[in-house]
Amino acid sequence: MTDVLVIVALAALGALLAGLVAAPAVALLRRRSVVLSMFAVAALAVVAMAAGTVAVALEMFLSGHDFRVVLIVVAVSGTVSLAAALLFGRRIAAGSRELALAARNVGSETGFTAPADPPTAELAALAAALEETGTRLGEAQERERALDASRRELIAWISHDLRTPLAGLRAMAEALEDGVVQDPGRYHARMRTEVERLSGMVDDLFELSRIQAGSLELALTRISVFDLVDDALTTAGPLADARGVRLVDGGVAPLPVRVDGQAVTRALGNLLVNAVRATPADGTVAVSARCEGALVVLAVEDCCGGIPEEDLPRVFDTGWRGGEARTPPGRAGRETGAAAGAGQRRHGDTGAGLGLAIVRGIVEAHAGRASVRNTEVGCRFEITLPAADRPSERSG
């Protein structure tokens, strides 16, 4: 037992001395290449093992032949260990360089492509994280490009919609100033109409800016969808009467929701006004409400003839106006506002392309969802809102 303790003590002493000598070299190389670091660590282990083995061999008073055998075994083992450490370190360094080169493409047009066979699990995990980051960055860039395109489109449409009424107001004001108007009252009424239209556009822009900035404040109250639909129908009723469009009840269930009544009424009113403008005379616009589990679905269905399938994903984008209608001649498509004339209406949003964007913003602020799909005769817009708890559910 004493011999074993002596052997352990000598081996530990030799390894400790070798470690104390080699430790500064390892510390100096910690920020250098991974090849040098791994080689230094392997060299430290080899030297420590060799020192302990030689110390024990000397203490055991081996013969010259046996001592040479021990030295040869130590030398060969150390050489193989150092060679393996150097080879593996070079492989890790090559994998790191390949990963670094690939990481430079994160966020570029080509995108990040992970190396085929990372040499270590850590590098594989890093490559996977970079690939996921590149995917998210690409999606963010795509959203940014889409938003930028919608902003440019919105600015173009607003500029167009502002230019026409402003030019008309200027012409009418000059005519009144020159005293060449035979019926000033008609001009005043027309000017007031144009001013109200411009004021509505400014209000829409302000509302949309609050929605996009996340500063839309909601006063949530428990309210029945009957009241929401009734208020929205009151808003759209005069326009429907003027255009000869019938507003019909598509089945409104007595469902409670917890929403900002004014905001949701505005969203539903935007859908109704948009549907009325898109529906030809003698057509119908149906409003319905139904319950789907813990959700309430409000729907507005018109007779506009439909929207091209490729345009459906963009209907709620800011500034989107749509392309030409696919309805037959003589039937109106979805109107783009004052810029659209009779018989040449187009599928899209009313006003400056803000109404449907406001609808989506208001609905999403209530943790809901806005969607649209084509039907046999037109379009069906739906807004989905969380249902309010019924009294029995709250008491339980």
Q: State residue 10's pLDDT score.
A: 67
Q: Cα separation of 248 and 394, whole Å?
A: 34
| Chain-centroid distance, C-alpha 387 | 26
Q: No. of H helices and E strands in the chain?
A: 9, 7
Structure tokens at 184: 């000033």
Asked whether the whole model's pTM tops 0.85, one would answer no
Q: State residue 61's pLDDT score.
A: 62
Contact 356, 342 (CB under 8 A): no
Q: Which long-range contacts (CB under 8 A, 24 or more apart) does 369-372 make?
A: 370/267, 370/316, 372/307, 372/312, 372/315, 372/316
Residue type, 173: A
219-395 belongs to which homologous superfamily? Histidine kinase-like ATPase, C-terminal domain (3.30.565.10)
Q: State residue 320's pLDDT score.
A: 64
The strand ranges marked E within 94-201 are none
Q: Cα separation of 318 and 279, whole Å?
A: 22
Each domain of the chain, given as residue ranges in start order, spans 2-103, 219-395
- Walk along the chain (396 residues) in steps of 10 and give the mean pLDDT of each run: 68 69 66 69 74 72 74 83 81 79 74 73 80 82 79 74 82 87 86 83 78 77 88 87 90 85 89 90 90 89 87 78 43 35 39 75 90 90 83 41
Q: State residue 85's pLDDT score.
A: 79
Q: Using CB atoms within 10 Å of the CB of residue 322, give its burial: 0 to 12 exposed, 13 to 18 middle, 19+ buried.
A: buried
| 3-class secondary-structure state, position 169 | helix
Residue (of 284, 288, 294) closest to 254 by Cα position: 288
Q: State residue 381's pLDDT score.
A: 94
| Chain-centroid distance, C-alpha 153 | 20
In this structure, how many other beta carbons lie within 10 angstroms of the beta carbon of residue 253? 13
Q: State residue 29's pLDDT score.
A: 63
Q: State residue 301's pLDDT score.
A: 92
Q: State residue 14's pLDDT score.
A: 65
Q: Cα separation of 370 and 383, whole Å?
A: 4
Q: Which residues contact 132 (CB under 8 A, 6 or more apart)?
A: none
Is the torsion defined by CA of 366, 368, 372, 377 positive or negative? negative
